[in-house]
Structure 1
Amino acid sequence: MTKAIIFDFDGTIIDTETAWYVAFREAYKKHEVDLSLEMYSGCIGTSLHKFNPYEYLMTDLNLPIDRDEFRKAVQLHHSQLMEVEEMRPGVLEYLQSAKQSGLKIGLASSSPLEWVEKYLKQLGIYDYFDCIRTADDVQNVKPDPELYLQTLKGLGVKADEAIAIEDSPNGAKAAEAAGIPCVLTPNSITKTLEFGNSLHRVESLRDLAFSTVFAGAVAQTK
């Protein structure tokens, strides 16, 4: 019996990922360096330990770039791109349906709490979540399962009683490692990456009826 739904944040609820890639790619172009998606994918849905796009030009290519100015320019460009970004299709409907069905709603994000709360409040959906776990709560972010395990604990449910909503391979690996079935909704950047098995894979949640995923939970409330 499914009792909970757990959302990833970046790229799943709102597509911050594409804006980051565009901002970094264009910043790299100014230094005549091509930032491939394959290279950049190393930091999608996880920490910057595997690939740090802020540092690569300086540490790996030894280019004479001011780190602070580079970081500020990328973040400013990302903020400008995000001004026109909206919640991904179907997310609000899933939140509303989950609340009406009596499901517990969690969020597991590799980003800092301050970042996540900022957008959840801007989007007007902060109060939907019963449990929020971020990079501030764990030692290891995705693809490590710790974020999902902490969220399950906070919600008071078992892994087989929850379903995760993810957009990236690192996120999907984390959910799988925690034993949670996963629905994949890749965005325009992550859809080109390689994923493992999933419960469902759709372009957006609008293409997958809530009742299809949570049939047991919906029936239980009738």
Structure 2
Amino acid sequence: MIKAIVFDFDGVILDSERLMYLVMQKMYRKYNLDLPLSIWSQAIGTQHGFNSIDYLEEHAHVTIDNEAFYKERDALFNQLVDEEEVLPGVKSVLEQAKRLGLKIGLATSSKGEWPRKHLSRLGISDYFQSIKSWDDVLKVKPDPALYIKSLESLGVQPKEAIAIEDSFNGSLAAKRAGMYCIVVPNAVTKQMPFGHVDGCFKSLQDMSLEKIVRYFSPELRTKA
């Protein structure tokens, strides 16, 4: 029976992945270079899938001051992301989970202060009983460690939990941990392959968590 739900953060709760891609495109245009989404997508949901400076130096034939590059990138990104609101449907699903008595966790490849800052800013931090981040594991997604840590923290078994993801790397991590996984792709992840997941939705808006929980809980279906 489903006892917990575990959210990814970037791209599921906050539309940060789209914003970072827009910022990176702007940074690359300064060097008259395009950044194809197919290349950038390697970085989504993980920490080590793509080195933006190595790619830029190789293809634009320039030498980049790493510190200056990241300082400018982060300033542009933070200016945009600090104005973002929670993605549609997130608060509804959190309320539904609370009403159903589900434990709620967060598993993100980002550093811990990042999600905590924005969960607080968005007014939803109190919903989460467990937050596991880059700081808590040796390897981030697509390695399953973050989800395994989340399950341990919430005190549930893999088949008692549903992960909500938006990326290939994140969903692969959840499945490797033995969990059910549903994905809600966004503008920068919709082209990714998701044949390995248990469900795919256009949005969390108007989602019935009770129906999803029942679907993944055979003992509830037999009672219906």
**Could you state the TM-score of these two structures normalised by the residue count of structure 2?**
0.91
State the one-letter code of the partner of 1:13. Answer: I
Counterpart position of 2:100: 101
State the one-letter code of the partner of 1:199. Answer: D
Counterpart position of 1:9: 9
8 A contact 2:45–2:141 mirrored in 1 = yes
- In structure 1, list runs of 5 or more residues that go unmatched: none
1:28 lines up with 2:13 in the alignment: no
Counterpart position of 2:143: 144
CA apart distance, 1:210: 1.6
CA apart distance, 1:62: 4.6
8 A contact 2:100–2:210 mirrored in 1 = no
Distance 2:18 2:171 in 1: 18
Structure 2 SS opposite 1:165: strand
8 A contact 1:172–1:182 mirrored in 2 = yes
What does the per-residue CA deviation read over 1:59-86, in whole Å, with 9 as the maximum and x for residues that have no partner?
A: 6755133222211111111122214321
Structure 2 SS opposite 1:57: helix
Counterpart position of 1:69: 68
Structure 1 SS opposite 2:170: helix
> Structure 1 residues 217 and 127, CA, compared in 2 at 3 Å: closer, same or farther?
farther
Distance 1:140 1:203 in 2: 29
Counterpart position of 1:159: 158
CA apart distance, 1:56: 3.0
What does the per-residue CA deviation read over 1:165-209, in whole Å, with 9 as the maximum and x for residues that have no partner?
A: 000000000011011111111111111222223222111111421
Counterpart position of 1:124: 123
8 A contact 2:33–2:60 mirrored in 1 = no
RMSD after superposition: 1.9
Distance 1:45 1:204 in 2: 18
Distance 1:185 1:126 in 2: 21
Counterpart position of 1:214: 213
Distance 1:25 1:74 in 2: 10
Distance 1:60 1:110 in 2: 28
Distance 2:220 2:16 in 1: 31
State the one-letter code of the partner of 1:26. Answer: K
Distance 2:129 2:35 in 1: 38
Counterpart position of 2:49: 50
8 A contact 2:5–2:164 mirrored in 1 = yes
CA apart distance, 1:97: 1.1
Alignment length (residue pairs): 218
Structure 1 SS opposite 2:74: helix
CA apart distance, 1:120: 0.6
CA apart distance, 1:31: 0.3
8 A contact 1:185–1:201 mirrored in 2 = yes
Counterpart position of 2:199: 200
Distance 2:135 2:53 in 1: 21
What does the per-residue CA deviation read over 1:99-151, in whole Å, with 9 as the maximum and x for residues that have no partner?
A: 12111001110000011101110011111111111010000000000000010
Structure 2 SS opposite 1:191: coil
Distance 1:161 1:136 in 2: 25
CA apart distance, 1:217: 10
Structure 1 SS opposite 2:185: coil
